[in-house]
Amino acid sequence: MSDKEFLNVALPKGRLGEKVYAMFAQAGFPCDELLDPKRKLIFENPEAGVRYFWVKPSDVAVYVERGAADVGVVGKDILLEYTPDIYELLDLNVGKCRMCVAAENGFRDDPDRTLRVATKFPHIARGFYSARSRDIDIILLHGSIEIAPILGMTDVIVDIVETGTTLRENNLSPVETIVPISARLIANKVSFKFKHAAIQTLYESLKEQVAAKEEQKA
C-alpha cells in the first residue's frame, strides 16, 4: 500500500492518546499492535488504511502542520499557544482541564506594580493580560512552575489545572480561569483536500461518539 492510501495519524503519548485511539478504532481505523508494549513508534494496518505514530503531545501539531501526519489529536492549549496552520475539526470532549491563573492563598494583585508571571505558555499569558492592559513580566519556565511564587520569584503562574491537587498541596489556588481546555481533532490543510473521504469518515464517526457520550451524561 502506498503512502497516499494510508491515513497518517499522530497521537499524543500517554493516557489521552490511548483513550483517543479507542475512539479511532471504533470509527473504523483499528490497529491492534498500537497497544503492544514494545518500543515501536509507527504502527500500520493496511486493511484499515491507517498508520499511527506516537509523538510528544506538544509535537502533534507540528507533525500535522508539516504534513508528516494527515490528522492528529492535540490539546487546545497547544493550538492557542503556537497557532499552527492547520484545520481544527472537532472538540473530542476528552482530556478536559482549564488554563488558569493561580497564586498563593490570599494573594491580592497590586495594579500599581508590574505583575510577575511564571508560565510555560507565554503567548496565552500575554494575550490574556494584554486584553486587560495589565503590565506583566513573564518568566518562562519548563518544569514545575508552582514553586516560583512560593520562592517569591513571581506573583502568579499561568498553567493548566486538571484536579487542582498540586496547587492545594503547595498552598496555591486558582485565581481565574483563562480558557477551558480539551483534546481537538486537527487536520493538515493539504491532506484535508486530497484525503477528504477518509478524514470525513473519521470526523463523522468521532462526532457521533462525542454526541452519544454527551447524551448519556444528560
Of the candidates 78, 77, 43, the one whose C-alpha atom is nearest the C-alpha of residue 64 is 78
Structure confidence by residue, pLDDT tens digits, 190-199? 999 999 999 9
Q: How far apart are CA 205 and CA 140, in angstroms?
A: 39
Per-residue confidence (pLDDT) for residue 39, from 0 to 100:
74
What local confidence, expressed as pLDDT, does residue 215 receive? 85
Fill in the amino acid letter for 124. I
- Global confidence as pTM: 0.91
Chunked into runs of 10 residues, the chain (218 residues) has average pLDDT values of 79 92 96 81 94 94 98 97 97 96 95 96 97 96 93 96 91 95 98 97 97 86
pLDDT tens readout for residues 8-44: 999 999 899 999 999 999 999 999 888 776 778 899 9
